[in-house]
Structure 1
Amino acid sequence: MPRLFSALSIPEDVASALSLLRGGLPGARWMDPADYHITLRFMGDIDDAMARDIDETLAEIHRRPFDVTIEGLDSFGGARPRAIIARAAPAAPLMELQADLERRCRRAGLDPETRKFTPHVTLARLRDASPLDVADYLSTRSAPRSITFPVDHFVLMSARASVGGGPYITEAVYPLLRASPA
């Protein structure tokens, strides 16, 4: 039973720039830059028939390519931080693609996603990290300025159920369509 999610791939040069932010935070398990991505929709552990249905519905998505901008660092978890992230700007094309994915996944039979979509790249997962250490880390680091990259596809990825944070496998690639000439 695959554990699936749809995502935007992070180009190698962007992953390399973000990887420079690794280190210096006790309790952090840093993600491998090859596993950096922006999750669009987590599907979870689904059977092979549902996986085929999801693949078919995702292949029907027709959207134009767009740009994504990484706009800063943050953490998830509030008083009990659980991740260090690089925030992506919630630009309209990104939000619309995610909403389209959500609608299609529901139509295919998946339960609605309960968490609000916050576009981000997870840089580290935290275990017993002190909120003070996280605040210190964030105050002394900043994401490289103006990291913008083009998005011309999204992917369906799988993860091992027992291990959070990769390695991830790309199961399918769905190209975004260029505007047809008028």
Structure 2
Amino acid sequence: MPRIFTGLEVPEALREDLARLRGGLMSARWMEPEDYHLTLRFVGDVDERTANEIADLLYAVRKRSIEVTLTGLGAFGGDRPRSIFVQVRQTQPLMELQAEHERIMRRVGLSPEPRKFVPHITLARLSRDATARSVADWLALRGLFMSRTFIVPSFALFSSKESVGGGPYLVEETYPLAA
């Protein structure tokens, strides 16, 4: 059974910039830069037939290239932080692309995604001993995060092996967006 999800790839130059943020937090399992991505729709473990059906239906997506803007750093989990991420501005084109992916997953019989879509790029997963204070301190030291914008010419269908901390991720198929 493949574990799959759809998402946007991060350009190489930007991956290198984001990788410079790594370190300084003992409870973090840092993502490898080549695994940085923006998840549009997590699917999970599915059978080959379902994976192939999803791959075929994604060709029907007709959207324009998207401008993606990174706006800052954050953490999920509140008092029990689980991950550190780069925030991505919610734009109408990005939200429409994500909604189209959600419709496709519903069409193949998957349950709706229960969590609200919050566009982000995960930098690190945090162990249970991470404290809200240590994460807040790490974020505060990087408070001068410079916003960056890039154009996304395509989206991808990714696969991954079940592992601790995510990755490695493999691009199974790339789907162009209109210029």
Q: TM-score range by the shorter chain?
A: over 0.9
**CA distance in structure 1 between the partners assigned to 2:163 and 2:142 by the alignment:** 31
Q: Which moved more, 1:158-167 or 1:26-35?
A: 158-167
Q: Which amino acid aligns with 1:160?
A: K
Does the 8 Å CA contact 1:6/1:157 hold for their aligned counterparts? yes
Q: Distance in 1 between matches of 2:108 and 2:43?
A: 11
% identical equivalent positions: 52
1:130-176 alpha-carbon deviations (Å, 9 max, x no partner): 11100100111136423101001000001112444100011000000
The answer on whether the counterparts of 2:71 and 2:89 sit within 8 Å (CA) in structure 1 is: yes
- How do residues 22-171 of structure 1 correspond to structure 2 at under 5 angstroms? 22-127=22-127, 128-142=129-143, 144-171=145-172
Matched residues in 2 for 1:142 and 1:9: separation?
25
TM-score under structure 2 length normalisation: 0.97
Q: 8 Å contact 1:5–1:40 — kept in the other structure?
A: yes
**4+ residue stretches of structure 1 with deviation over 6 A?**
none
* C-alpha RMSD of the superposition: 1.0
Report if the CA contact (8 A) 1:6-1:156 is conserved. yes
Distance in 2, Cα, partners of 1:47 & 1:55:
12
Counterpart in the other structure of 1:11: 11
Quote the Cα distance in structure 1 between the aligned partners of 2:102 and 2:135. Answer: 32
2:29–2:165 CA contact under 8 A, matched in 1:
no
- What is the letter of the counterpart of residue 157 of structure 1? F
Specify the alignment match of 1:173 in structure 2. 174
Q: C-alpha distance in 2, partners of 1:118/1:6?
A: 14
Aligned residues: 178
Distance 1:143 1:29 in 2: 23
- The secondary structure found in structure 2 opposite 1:161 is coil
Structure 2: give runs of 5+ residues left out of the alignment: none
CA contact (8 A) 2:31 2:165 kept: no
User: Structure 2 CA distance, aligned partners of 1:136 and 1:168?
Assistant: 30
